[in-house]
Amino acid sequence: MTAIQESDIVRLPRGVRLREDKQRGGWVLLAPERVFQLDGIAQTVVSQVDGERSVGAIIDQLCETYQAPRERIAQDVTAMFAGLVEKRVLEVA
Amino acid sequence: MTHSQAYDVQPPMGMLAELTHRCPLQCPYCSNPVALERRRQELDTATWQRVFAEAAELGVLQVHLSGGEPALRPDLPELVKACVDAGLYSNLITAGVNIDRARLETLADAGLDHVQLSFQGATPEVTDHVANMTGAHARKRAFAAEVTDIGLPLTLNAVIHRANLHQIDEFVDLAVELGARRLEIAHAQYYGWALVNRAALMPSREQVMEAVERVEAARERLQGRLVIDAVVPDYHARLPKPCMNGWGRQSLNVTPSGKVLPCHAAETIPHLEFWNVADHGLGDIWYDSPAFNAYRGTDWMPETCQSCERKEIDWGGCRCQALMLTGDAAQMDPVCEKSPYHDEVQTLAVLDAAGDPDFTYRRFARTTEGA
């Protein structure tokens, strides 16, 4: 499993796009010959990815928005990013 | 929009757009029909542009621009742009032997999202022999280098059969060397030209098992570096493939002349009525055309499928294969071990694997009219 550090900056690689799926509802990550349907949480997290802010900064932002314990959010976010990196739909800049 | 079907039909996610059946290669397992559609029958630019807009409106997310060789269409950049304008993810499925740097840059500038490049072999000898084109392998390698140099994501696609099954590890090495993000190891599926050539392509059961093991090992070794998707061969299997993830459930296929099919081989089922984009909107075709409603859901299934716990996993397998091997498209897929034809199919695979015929290369039938 790829480890994600809070100092890492992640981005969507070329060929991967986040967009709304109006017909079915919700958001999707479109990738080479794959479609990942995102649940509400995944969409919130992935939409924070801008290729500029660090993973730590994204976690801070989510803590502020959701008023949740930082440790829990950090764990969820780094695990989700690691899973996406493994599938090659997210990369560490 | 109101539609007449009694059950819940979801909008399609993917569309295969066969822009042309013309191709510089002659692969003996081509999924195109044996009766290829000719250039004069092909849809014009404006019609394809309309179809892409209708596809997006219908709910399609990804368009696979395919063929034949889609780059033989001079209007390919305009068609890519039409996909982009409609918000569709565009995927170019190409043989990579006739796109130079300038053309590729035009396609990238138009907004192309991804390139899938076929390799018929992992070495020049095998590629050139299977594609029946001298120098094809070298051209493909050069094209792959341009794709990654421009920064477009690259998938390598290898159709696997008896003549290249020993090259699995080399395909993996080639994908890594060429900087592909993804590799498809797709065992030949026996429709269209592959059916004609089945006895020249069919691997033995032992070969298939070895190939599966090699793919598994490579997957583990390259986790996070290379995504490997495998399409398993089904004649040797116990359970049928969930063909198209169910008839008319997720995807549709538009032929060069505008016929809309539930899968690329659906025309082999002679009693089906296919509608054309020249006469109907894509949404009407998806929801209301007889061909799409013929095998939707589970009501059409024979009793054995109806009472099977896998009926909404396998979706009864493949209709075209059922027709081809049993004479009845509404039979259960004969690959299934519950089918009365299962043993016959396994025997057939063993006999074919022991054959040694030459390839019948894919080409247009001779005709007095021009192509």
Q: For residues B337-361, give the mean pLDDT.
A: 92
Strands A10-11 and A91-92: antiparallel
What torsion, rounded to 10 degrees, do the Cα atoms B89, A47, B153, A4 define? -150
> With an 8 Å Cβ cutoff, are A32 and B116 in contact?
yes
**Bridge partners, B114 (sequence order):** B91
Strands B14-18 and B251-254: parallel
> With an 8 Å Cβ cutoff, are B224 and A2 in contact?
yes
Higher pLDDT, B165 or B371: B165
The neighbour count for residue B368, using CB atoms within 10 Å, is 4
Residue B49 touches chain A, beta carbons under 8 Å: no
Q: For residues A12-32, give the mean pLDDT.
A: 95
The pLDDT of residue B5 is 52
The pLDDT of residue B52 is 98
3-class DSSP assignment, residue B166: helix
Q: Omega of the bond prior to B68 within 30 degrees of 0, cis?
A: yes
Give yes or no for a contact between A82 and A3, defined as CB atoms under 8 angstroms apart.
yes
Residue B157 touches chain A, beta carbons under 8 Å: no
CATH 1.10.10.1150 fits A10-88, yes or no: yes
pTM of the model: 0.94
Give yes or no for a contact between A10 and A18, defined as CB atoms under 8 angstroms apart.
no
Q: Assess whether pLDDT exceeds 90 at residue A74.
A: yes
Cα distances (Å, whole numbers) of residue B279 to B41, B245, B290: 15, 27, 14
Handedness of CA B78, B84, B86, B88 (dihedral sign): positive
CA distance A82 to A76: 10
Residue B87 touches chain A, beta carbons under 8 Å: yes
Task: Provide the 8-state DSSP code for A29.
Answer: E
Q: For residues A29-43, give the mean pLDDT.
A: 94
The pLDDT of residue B371 is 42
CA distance B124 to B85: 39
Q: Assess whether pLDDT exceeds 70 at residue B351.
A: yes
Under the banding of pLDDT at 50, 70 and 90, the label for residue B7 is low
CA distance B216 to B198: 26
> With an 8 Å Cβ cutoff, are A23 and B114 in contact?
no
3-class DSSP assignment, residue B153: coil
Shortest CA distance to B269 belongs to which of B316, B323, B330, B195? B323
**Phi (first) and psi of residue B114, to 5 degrees:** -160, 150
Of the given ranges (A89-93, B4-8, B185-189, B213-217), which has the lowest mean pLDDT?
B4-8
The pLDDT of residue B2 is 44
Residue ranges per structural domain of chain A:
10-88
Handedness of CA B319, B325, B331, B333 (dihedral sign): negative
Q: Give the residue carrying structure tokens 């007095």.
A: B368
Kindly give, in sequence order, each residue whose CB lies less than 8 Å from that of residue A9, ignoring residues fewer than 6 positions away: A51, A52, A53, A54, A55, A92, A93
Of the given ranges (A17-21, B25-29, B235-239, B263-267), which has the lowest mean pLDDT?
B235-239
Residue of A nearest to B250 (CA): A35
The pLDDT of residue B174 is 98
Rounded to a whole number of angstroms, the distance from the CA of A80 to the nearest CA of chain B is 14
> With an 8 Å Cβ cutoff, are B223 and A87 in contact?
no
CA distance B51 to A75: 45
Q: Which residues of chain B does A19 touch, with a Cβ-Cβ cutoff of 8 Å?
A: 87
Task: Give residue-wise pLDDT tens across range B139-185.
Answer: 999 999 999 999 999 999 999 999 999 999 999 999 999 999 999 99
Shortest CA distance to A63 belongs to which of A75, A51, A80? A75
Q: Which residues of chain A does B223 touch, with a Cβ-Cβ cutoff of 8 Å?
A: 86
Percent of chain B with pLDDT over 70: 97
The neighbour count for residue B102, using CB atoms within 10 Å, is 8
Percent of chain B with pLDDT over 90: 92
ipTM: 0.91
Residue B232 touches chain A, beta carbons under 8 Å: no
Supply the mean pLDDT for chain B.
Answer: 94
Under the banding of pLDDT at 50, 70 and 90, the label for residue B368 is low
Residue B181 touches chain A, beta carbons under 8 Å: yes
DSSP string covering B69-118: -GGGSTTHHHHHHHHHHTT-EEEEEE--SS--HHHHHHHHHHT--EEEEE
